[in-house]
Structure 1
Amino acid sequence: MAVWAEAQRQQQRREEAQRRAYAQAQRDQERQARDAERAMARLHRERQAAYRQQREADARRRTEELDARVAALTGLLADGCRAPAFTAAALLRPERIEEFAPGALATPVPMPDPARYQAPPGGWHLGAARRDRAQEEARARYEQDWYAAQSAEHQRQNQLAAYRRQYDQWAAGALDGIRQHNAGIEELLTGLRNGDAEAAVEYFSAALYASTAWPEGFPRRVTAAYEPTARQLVLDWELPGYAVVPETKAVRYQAGADQEKETARPAAQRRALYRDVLAQSMLLVLRDLFAADTYGALDSVALNGFVDDVDPATGRPAQVYLATVMAPRGAFDALHLDRVSAVECLTDGLRGQLAARPDQRTAVRPGRLPDDVGGAGTVVSHGGETEPDLYEMDPIAFENLIAELFRAMGMQAVTTQRSGDGGVDVDALDPDPIRGGKIVVQVKRYRNTVPPTAVRDLYGTVQSEGANKGVLVTTSRFGPGAHTFANGKPLSLIAGPELVDLLGRYGLRGRLGTPAPGTDTDPDGAPAPTASSGGTPDHNVLGMTWSGDVALDVCALVCKGTTVLSDDHFVFYNNPCTPDGSVRMLPGTAPDRAAVRVHFEGLPPDADRLVLVAAVDPQANPDADLAGFTDARIRLLDAAGEEQGQLVVSDGRRGETALVLGSFRQRAGGDWDFVIGGKGYPGGLTALVQEYGIEVA
């Protein structure tokens, strides 16, 4: 019985210990749950605080941006007066061109060292026959390398001589272009000194366009005329609209509603600031004109400031004049613009007129308009609300628009006669001392891709005209063949989207409407090239050739940036085609050792790069590298097999087994341009594709 009783007591103690342990575990679990709840609540509060701080910071940032815009408007005149004045001296280009720089061609090819071609020491035990054979092999290797080095040196000297001839020809043309440019500037200045109206309008319009005093977004549209007898410039200048003054004064975050609340700027304050901006703009125009007149061509300026609006009587677009002033030079020179009140200076100091309620388009009556001068006026227009369809624009109007664009960019530009223009639609002169000179411009109002033949014709025109540069402007786009031919030549290709962007950037009007069915024409009325006529190929063939006996695999990667779209967009011998068929491997046919067919317009929308690579075949040549990969080039063929150009790529290097030949990259206008590669990989194709985001097992 005693034993049984003791066993019962022990059992009770164990059960009691288990109950206590269970209760303690429950208390621990409840405590951990409470701690977790408190931690989550604290984290939630911290997140809420961080979110609120971020929203408050965003509201402060918006307020600071509004304050900065208002400060820029308030200090418009003061900041503009600190900007450098326009001078004709800046238009002259120094008669200095880049020196001849042959680069690597200036270094002679090193000749092999005979000391490195001695037979290896082997002792007399090798025998005389084996020693003689070893010496003969060493001598043969030396002779082979010596002849190869001599051949390479001869090739280098020929290339250097050819490059020198090209440089001399370019230098002579560049120097001649600089002298012609300077002669044109001197002719313009002579006309300005002699009171020529056209020269005066051209010079002072350029001064306004070249001014760096205006904030971004301000319009630059001018109509000007010059009266030589009164030495007076009469011009209409577009003023900024009422929206230039921010309607919002401040932004504050409301945590309760979780939204930003905008505080409106008082109407009286906004109207007063707008009148001040208009007055500052008028004074700044006068400052730019008189500061640029270092030849005494201006005794006075009649300036009218306008905004585009709608005539309430007709409902048609009209110019509403909000300010006008007749400023004599003597009166203006007596002003201290850094200390004046703009509104009082314009209305009282210069006795000009400024609309009392410009926000409501209350007009003033101009004293004199450019049309009042007569036939001496020259009109240069910028801006406007209605954007004409470039496809439907009159051919002559389209050429005038392109000439206007070049003038807005600070150049002298005129359209040529319709006949006997030698393939030139616009003659331009860039005053920039580095990139400037004579520019010939051709315009192609196409809807389909411009063929490479048009680019070749432009290059011939550049050479025959002795121009520094040629520009081909189109409403369409260019194919890889066009960019291939233009690569390395003084040619610029401006596709339709780039043209629209340039027009908008310089305040001009133009849009690319929806192409209409039917026959397309260029500005001269000739039918535009179509796919059926061979003008726009459905695809291109990239034929690759190189010197050397090493077996290579040529591959292509369809990428966005430096990342391949997917494993299926890595085209090689085991995956010869992309899923959409836009890129396909082809067997190489003489003279090409490999080929890739590419339909550029059929590439995926998110693809902006086609990368071409070459790698040593590890099965055919396991111990080879790319040291013998030389004279490599890519032939660009159209769908009919006609060669459109050749692309030179980098030679291989010792120790590397894979090489990026180059990549076709999509430009902003949708065209594809070639960029040479040259990066090598000792780790072969595996290392190369891993860098482009392909996982190799």
Structure 2
Amino acid sequence: MRHEEVQPFAPGPLAQPVPMPDFNQYQTQSGWTASRRAQAQAEAQARFERDWHTAQAAEARRQQQLASYQQEYLRWADAQLAEVRAHNAGVVAVTEGVRRRDPDSVVEYFSAALYASTAWPEGFPRQIAAAYDPAARQLVLDWELPGYSIVPEVKSVRYMSAVDQDKETPRPVGQRRALYREVLAECMLLVLHQLFAADDLSALESVALNGFVDGHDPTTGRPGHIFLATVMAPRSSFRELHLAQVDAGSCLADALRGQLSARPDQLTPVRPSRRPQDAGNRVVAHGNDEEPDLYAMDPIAFENLVADLFRAMGMQAVTTQRSNDGGVDVDALDPTPIRGGKIVVQVKRYRNTVPPTAVRDLYGTVQDAGANKGVLVTTSGFGPGSHTFANGKPLELISGSELVDLLHRHGLRGRLGEGGRQAAAQPRPSVPPTRLPDDYSVLGMSWNGSVALDVCALVCRGSRVLSDDHFVFFNNPQTPDGSVRALPAAAPDKAAICVSFDGLPEGADRFVLVAAIDPEVNPDADLSGFTEACIRLLDPGMAEQGRLEVSDGRPSETALVLGSFRRRSSGDWDFVLGGKGYAGGLEELVQDYGIEVE
């Protein structure tokens, strides 16, 4: 229900009456003779009367404009209240319909619950067809699942300085399939969780849920829904589950006796146990509007779409002439005071990782054009070399998944590929655990001073990082095996990283913690204000187990090795205090550990 409130009438400057002239301010003492004084008095009287009539006319216009604005406000306020009341009346009607077990009301109520959820990553499909069986108190629905492209083909990207390119390492097919099955199972469990959680009126005894993707049937070649998962979940069985602790695939298949495609990447279907049309009532469908595929879009249309996005974000934007664009596809102007200005935009409709050369070229274009900022928009993604080069410079890198997110947030449309709405993996919609597994430790970092720092971790053999993927920082929040992850910090900590020392790769013998100035937040700062720092050792339940002191920062340095955990021959780990500082920031520091950045 919405509150029946509207913004109060705020006429702004129109609320202030026009000041009337004061005749005393027009009095004059000029003139040595009576006739000259009389003439000056007459001139003053004339000026006063002229200004008084002008002010009276301005006041009349103000009152007229105020009355007109007030009438306009009253019409707007009445319309707003009418909309709120109509909405609330609709909610009451639907709620009463759910109490009566009216099929259309039940479907509308639970469809709204799914669409209102914030648990789904932006851009996930939400196509639904549903019906309700009041006799069995069962909701039967078909729900669209993300396509196979939600799991990236690329496992990692490494910058090769010799050829100035990013080298992509493909993800093994088996691993990609397993991850995709996990995503599908988690989506199914999340739908069930949200439906039962929204059932305050006990309308659902069970849910028959079928998860599908749009595609071509591999046996007939005809387009249509291909069902990759199905389950019939009783409320009583689902309420016994502890979702934070389950393996999604096993839970769906074993605990709930559902089915999950063994090869969803090949669109191997499962047979739904019950379809909405079998429920005996009208089937209601939502969300099946087609969005344009950004990969297949005409290049000029894609540039126009990016320009539309910038305009939707409140900026002025025009596409450039392709024959002589100087490396600029869209010219934008942000009118925001202080932080706004000229923006040059390049768009890359790629499927593979954008090479670092494109980012460096954009930086050169920003300098040549005298722009305040450069933005590189792509349908793919960027490697660590690109992110490290862009760090601290007036550059912003927008990946494909971020682009889709921005388009949807600003009322525009677009998807990546045929099978899904996004190309890059997004945070999977699962219920977050309240406690980390027992083999993890949390390292919480705190320090005095207001300087903004990025705290990062490197998994190393000796003084060399195992791979670029084993450098955990703001654009790579965890290692491939998940043994090291960045966590949101909780007071009194300003940064936090969790690590499973037993889960680190066998070849790793050092776990290094570093801190660096965030050049975007504090471009002129150094580490002289980094004092009284410590690392808190926390158990998985976030109970403090001890503290480790680290070195203070020094003037002119912008990055610092806090310390390293080193594996002993017995398998235990000891902490060794760091202290080495770098004037060249994070870029110089990571080069010391074997990460190549040009």
TM-score range, shorter chain: 0.3 to 0.5
Greater RCO (Cα-Cα under 8 Å, separation 6 or more):
2
Structure label with greater radius of gyration? 1
